[in-house]
Amino acid sequence: MASNDRNVQISKIGIIGAGVSGLAAAKQLAPCEPIIFEATDSIGGVWKHCSYRSTKLQSLRCDYEFSDFPWPDRDNSSFPSHAEIVDYLESYAKHFDLLRFVKLNSKVVEVRFIGDQKITDNGGAYGSLLPGEPAWEVAVQTGSDTIQWYAFEFLVMCIGKYGDIPRMPVFPKGKGPDVFQGKVLHSMDYSKLDQEAATQLLRGKKVVVVGYKKSAIDLAMECAEANQGPEGQPCTMIVRTRHWIVPHYWVWGLPFFLFYSTRFSQFLHERPNQSLLRTLLCLLFTPLRRGVSKFIESYLLWKMPLEKYGLKPEHPFEEDYASCQMAIVPENFFSEADKGKIVFKRPSKWWFYEGGIEFEDKTRVEADVVALATGFEGKQKIKSILPEPFRSVVEFPSGIMPLYRGMIHPLIPNMAFVGYLESVSNLHSAELGCKWLSRLAGGELKLPSVEGMMEQTAKEVEVSKRTTRFYKRHCISTYSINHDDEICEEMGWSAWRKRNWFFEAFSPYTSQDYEKEK
Ligand X SMILES: NC(=O)c1ccc[n+]([C@@H]2O[C@H](COP(=O)([O-])OP(=O)(O)OC[C@H]3O[C@@H](n4cnc5c(N)ncnc54)[C@H](OP(=O)(O)O)[C@@H]3O)[C@@H](O)[C@H]2O)c1
Ligand Y SMILES: Cc1cc2nc3c(=O)[nH]c(=O)nc-3n(C[C@H](O)[C@H](O)[C@H](O)COP(=O)(O)OP(=O)(O)OC[C@H]3O[C@@H](n4cnc5c(N)ncnc54)[C@H](O)[C@@H]3O)c2cc1C
Residue pair 234/227 in contact (Cβ under 8 Å)? The answer is yes
**From 68, 70, 90, 107, residue interacting with ligand Y (rule: CB under 6 A):** 107
Q: Which does 40 bind (CB under 5 to 8 A by kind): ligand Y, ligand X, none?
A: ligand Y
Most distant CA atoms of the chain, gap in Å: 73
**From 64, 71, 92, 212, residue interacting with ligand X (rule: CB under 6 A):** 212
- On the question of a cis peptide bond just before residue 166, with omega within 30 degrees of 0, the verdict is no
Least Å distance, CB 58 to ligand X, is 4
Distance CA 384, CA 376 (A): 14
Contact status: 22 vs ligand Y (CB under 6 A): yes
Binding piece for ligand Y, criterion CB under 6 A, among 161-169, 177-185, 238-246, 346-354: 161-169
Site string for ligand X, 48-87 (x = CB under 6 A): -------xxxx-----------------------------
Residues 6 or more apart whose Cβ sits within 8 Å of residue 284? none
Distance CA 333, CA 454 (A): 44
Measured CA to CA in angstroms, residue 155 lies from 68, 216, 299, 389, 401 at distances of 25, 34, 46, 17, 17
Site string for ligand Y, 31-70 (x = CB under 6 A): ------xxxx----xx---xx---x-xxx----x------
Least Å distance, CB 248 to ligand X, is 14
Nearer to ligand Y, 425 or 457 (CB): 425
Contact status: 18 vs ligand Y (CB under 6 A): yes
**From 14, 34, 134, 163, residue interacting with ligand Y (rule: CB under 6 A):** 163
Q: Which does 218 bind (CB under 5 to 8 A by kind): ligand X, ligand Y, none?
A: ligand X
Contact status: 218 vs ligand X (CB under 6 A): yes
H or E stretch at 285 = helix 276-303
Contact status: 238 vs ligand X (CB under 6 A): yes
**From 169, 177, 448, 452, residue interacting with ligand X (rule: CB under 6 A):** 169
Distance CA 458, CA 397 (A): 9
Distance CA 203, CA 493 (A): 55
Residue pair 509/484 in contact (Cβ under 8 Å)? The answer is yes
Residues 6 or more apart whose Cβ sits within 8 Å of residue 516? 67, 68
Least Å distance, CB 103 to ligand Y, is 9
Residue pair 466/318 in contact (Cβ under 8 Å)? The answer is no
Least Å distance, CB 313 to ligand Y, is 21
Residue number with the smallest Cβ distance to ligand X: 375
Site string for ligand Y, 409-448 (x = CB under 6 A): ----------x-----xxx---------------------
Contact status: 241 vs ligand X (CB under 6 A): yes
Q: Which of 516, 504, 320, 345 is nearest to 422 (CA)?
A: 320
Helix (H, G, I), strand (E, B) or coil at 345: strand
Judged on CB neighbours under 10 Å (0-12, 13-18, 19+), 455 is: middle
Nearer to ligand X, 161 or 483 (CB): 161
Question: Site residues (CB under 6 A) for ligand Y?
Answer: 16-22, 37-40, 45-46, 50-51, 55, 57-59, 64, 107-108, 158-160, 162-164, 385, 419, 425-427
Question: Site residues (CB under 6 A) for ligand X?
Answer: 55-58, 162, 169, 187, 210-216, 218, 238, 240-241, 373-375
